[in-house]
Amino acid sequence: MPPLPDPSDVSERDAALAIVRRLRAEGHAAYFAGGCVRDELLGVDPKDYDVATDAHPDTITKLFTRTAEVGASFGVVLVREFGPTVEVATFRTDGPYSDARRPDHVEFSTAEKDAHRRDFTINALFIDPLADDPDSRIIDHVGGVADVNARVLRAVGDPNARLAEDHLRALRAVRFAAKYGLSIDPGTADAIREQARELAGVSIERIGDEVRRMMAHPTRARAAQTITDLGLDTPIFAEHLPDRPLITLGRLDERADAMTALGAWSHDRIGAPVLSASGAAGFGWRSALNLSGDEARDYARTLDFAGTVLRDWATLGVAGRKRLASAARADEGVRLLRAIDADAAARYGSDVRALARDGVGLAPAPVIDGDALVERGFRPGPGFGDLLDAVYDAQLEGRVISADDALALARELAPAHGVAIA
């Protein structure tokens, strides 16, 4: 049996290779499978490596000491023998998909049958990492190599049957095509259009996850356009999106996150500057994509930031500008602002740099806080927070420098804010 590599110095590819060697030494067929093969052939660095084998799950758990049977009924075992976790799956064929999500049952089979049950040809390839002959290294039962070379995304077999098994595959097709710069095979595209309405039956959790992944990738504009072109916008958002150029989404910084991308898409969808999250509320991102509370806040704050700069920056005082520049999501807001109006973003950046050099800074620590005021007899009440804000604004503007200055100003402003002093 081949010697064990040191787990502390093993890449995921090396861990997968060690697993293949172990399985082959025991007389089993074993290959790299799925996404890692696709990525290698498309010149993309794979994020993870999966192994496919004719060894059954009980055999896999006997051959490796550190395993987890996360999907043994579907032939899937996680192997942690060599450090990184590698998914090892038994070749299988799938039974009917009664819930349009996963097969009712599976049967263990051969590599060829396993390839024919997969979604797209580019995902149905195997690599024999131990092959000496480069020409025999790729194992292709579905014409996937030709599609990789032609940069075409094609369903395995009958596209209508593949999509009917799991309607989320329509969105996966969009994501793969956008991410890898592939054209969608006409037959597959037609099947997606014909079955688009069925996407409404997929859980919003699964739909939201796919859309997030698209929006987090630099090819987000192409993905969004393809969603509309294939008629998937209506089942996702319960409305047909206007066919407007996705200029803002296309200009967005590659580093922008998914919530910023949703803000850019909102802006393009409305066709005019979105000055607040409430102005985009009709798009229904939160309910349609199952956004968490934090995600919804990030989306709203990013839109509100860009809108405030576009609408109010010229009239904001020093304190208002500093507070906005230091607000949560300001960095993402600037990315959205830059995509909407590069000139406005440049003016904002110049002004903020000047504010940062004014001797006070954008967000200095308050020279006095609420506890200090209470110790000096100020009684907390409805206006207490506003009083603290007013004192801090004075500090941001350079009118308050010391704690004594802040205390004196607080005493002066307390009556106007309804704050009593003992």
Long-range contact set of residues 133-137: C-beta below 8 Å, sequence gap at least 24: none
Give the whole-angstrom CA distance, residue 330 versus residue 340: 15
* CATH code for the domain of 201: 1.10.110.30
Q: Are residues 396 and 261 both part of a single domain?
A: no
pLDDT tens by residue, 102-122: 777 789 999 999 999 999 999
Percent of the chain at pLDDT > 70 equals 94
H/E element, 248: helix 247-251
pTM summary value:
0.88
pLDDT band at 211 (very low <50, low <70, confident <90, very high): very high
Q: Are residues 137 and 174 both part of a single domain?
A: no
Please give the pLDDT value at position 282: 45
Task: Point out the domain boundary residue: 118, 133, 150.
Answer: 150
Q: Are residues 33 and 106 both part of a single domain?
A: yes
Please give the pLDDT value at position 209: 96
Four-CA torsion 261, 266, 268, 270, nearest 10 degrees: -170
* CATH code for the domain of 29: 3.30.460.10
Q: In this structure, is residue 137 part of a structural domain?
A: yes
Q: In this structure, is residue 422 part of a structural domain?
A: no
Q: Are residues 256 and 275 both part of a single domain?
A: yes
Residue whose C-alpha is closest to residue 353's, from 362, 340, 344: 362
Q: Are residues 9 and 141 both part of a single domain?
A: yes
Q: In this structure, is residue 318 part of a structural domain?
A: yes
Backbone phi and psi for residue 6, each to the nearest 5 degrees, phi listed first? -70, 115
Q: Are residues 93 and 196 both part of a single domain?
A: no
Q: In this structure, is residue 117 part of a structural domain?
A: yes
pLDDT tens by residue, 282-324: 457 788 899 999 999 999 899 999 999 999 999 999 999 999 9
pLDDT band at 377 (very low <50, low <70, confident <90, very high): very high
Please give the pLDDT value at position 278: 59
Q: Are residues 254 and 227 both part of a single domain?
A: no
Q: How many domains does the chain have?
A: 4
Task: Point out the domain boundary residue: 89, 124, 150.
Answer: 150
Q: For 274, left (φ over 0), alpha (ψ -120 to 50), or beta?
A: beta
What share of residues in the chain are helix, strand, coil (percent, to 5)? 55, 10, 35
Q: Are residues 143 and 164 both part of a single domain?
A: no
- Token readout for 65 is 């000491």
Task: Point out the domain boundary residue: 363, 381, 405.
Answer: 363
Cα–Cα distance list, 209 to 165, 191, 229, 254 (Å): 19, 22, 20, 19
Q: In this structure, is residue 143 part of a structural domain?
A: yes
Q: In this structure, is residue 306 part of a structural domain?
A: yes
Q: In this structure, is residue 351 part of a structural domain?
A: yes
Q: In this structure, is residue 189 part of a structural domain?
A: yes
Please give the pLDDT value at position 140: 96
pLDDT band at 5 (very low <50, low <70, confident <90, very high): low
Give the whole-angstrom CA distance, residue 69 versus residue 92: 16
Q: Are residues 137 and 39 both part of a single domain?
A: yes
Please give the pLDDT value at position 272: 61
Please give the pLDDT value at position 121: 98
Is residue 34 pLDDT above 50, yes or no? yes
Is residue 281 pLDDT above 50, yes or no? no
Q: Are residues 190 and 239 both part of a single domain?
A: yes
- Print the domain residue range for 290: 247-363
Q: Are residues 170 and 125 both part of a single domain?
A: no
Q: Are residues 333 and 399 both part of a single domain?
A: no
